[in-house]
Amino acid sequence: MLLTLESRAKLNNGIEIPRLGLGVYQSPPGEITLHAVKYALEIGYRHIDTAELYGNETDVGRALQESRIRRDDVFITTKVWNSHQGYDSTLYACEGSLRRLGLSYIDLYLIHWPVQGLR
């Protein structure tokens, strides 16, 4: 299978996720992440993967807002960190991610990695 920036996989709920995306792990908060995400969007990336732990959700959101790409055309993934696992803590953490990203929704919200016993 030839992979391109347009390649997508259909999830069980019918949503399509781009198979290729830009991950911003270890991309420092600030201008470096802002410019990397803006450039990725400019050249055709439509999936950006960040996390609360990375400290750069604000830059990802700002890059998306400053781009000319419609929000519905970009798939945003972020993650809840271990210390925020558990029902109420996760809801609170998700609200924080939404606020930092400047978005009304996140396309995919993952557990960064599961920790047994957290509820």
Catalytic residues: 54
- The bridge status of strand 8-10 relative to strand 16-18 is antiparallel
